[in-house]
A = this chain, B = another copy of it.
Amino acid sequence: MLPALNTPDYLGYAKAAVEEGIKIIETAGNPEPILKYLKSNGVTVIHKCVSLGHALKAQAKGVDCISIDGIEWGICSAGHGGEYDTTSMILLGRCAQELKIPFLASGGFADGKGLAMALILGAQGINMGTRWMCTVEAPIHQNVKEAIVKMDENGTILVLRKFRNTTRLAKNEVTLEVHKIENSKLEPQFQEVAHLMSGARGKGVYETGDINAGVWSVGLAAGLIKSIPTCEELARTIEREAAEALSKANSLYTNRASL
């Protein structure tokens, strides 16, 4: 449901998904064009938002669940999302205060402590993007996975802010150049960076493993990632870490002196 030069056939996509028996669909942008159709076919609709205002609007329109994205995320902001600069911690706290429907935590989550934290703040669970890139099964070049493991908390960069399309990307030769061009003049034109931002160039990163071939998405969570497990190992580890972190903090807390 995102603005596009050539609007895709969203309802056609929705019909194909329903016919294939898909029971949960995540929407973004304006869910209205397909929401009624999805709901009348028993599909659970999770709507992705980057601000509480958007989440409240989506709730009013009738989606079942919100996926709320803090500024930690690594996915293209698809519009004005990334302009809010609100962190996951604050957004989740606000969602717990204002939303009546369930919500998932997205942006910055990579381990069991993160899952435990999301549950503490009232989310029903976490969404992970970058973390799944660093798994054995992820269909991207091993160099990219290893580059993420090597990153620290300063491995990403926000670009395209001047075009109100803020995007968090891996800090590399190409994104540093985009950042430089964008900030070298008051009113840069997108044409000046379009050749650097090309999706085709970015795709080459994942295929060839040349991490400087183009732009590629990665979240702040990259700084926390130190291994490349299988998906099953990752899920089990996160579950175990979350249980341990909750249990440890709970026992620490209840055993101490009270005010």
Interface positions of A (Cβ within 8 A of B): 52, 70-72, 84-91, 93-94, 96-97, 108, 110-111, 113-114, 116-117, 119-122, 152-154, 158, 184-186, 220-221, 223-224, 226, 235-236, 239, 242-243, 245-247, 249-250, 252-254, 258-259
Cα separation A92 to B189 with both chains bound (whole Å): 38
Main secondary structure of the interface of A (DSSP, over half): helix
Q: Are A223 and B94 closer than 8 Å at their CB atoms?
A: yes
Cβ of A70: which chain B residues have Cβ within 8 Å of it?
87, 89
Q: Are B113 and A96 closer than 8 Å at their CB atoms?
A: yes
Stoichiometry, copies per complex: 2
Q: Are A114 and B94 closer than 8 Å at their CB atoms?
A: no
CB-CB nearest in chain B for A236:
B259
Cβ of A89: which chain B residues have Cβ within 8 Å of it?
70, 72, 87-89, 108, 114, 117
Q: Are A224 and B153 closer than 8 Å at their CB atoms?
A: no
Q: Are B220 and A87 closer than 8 Å at their CB atoms?
A: yes
CB-CB nearest in chain B for A52:
B153
Cβ-defined partner of A87 (8 Å) among B72, B110, B246, B254: B72
Q: Are B239 and A246 closer than 8 Å at their CB atoms?
A: no
Cβ of A119: which chain B residues have Cβ within 8 Å of it?
249, 252-253
Cα separation A71 to B91 with both chains bound (whole Å): 14
Cα separation A97 to B111 with both chains bound (whole Å): 12
Cβ of A85: which chain B residues have Cβ within 8 Å of it?
71, 158
Cβ-defined partner of A153 (8 Å) among B90, B221, B242, B258: B90
Cβ of A111: which chain B residues have Cβ within 8 Å of it?
93
Cβ of A94: which chain B residues have Cβ within 8 Å of it?
152-153, 223-224
Closest chain-B Cβ to A185's Cβ sits at a distance in Å of: 7
Cβ of A184: which chain B residues have Cβ within 8 Å of it?
186
Cα separation A154 to B250 with both chains bound (whole Å): 32
Cα separation A106 to B254 with both chains bound (whole Å): 23
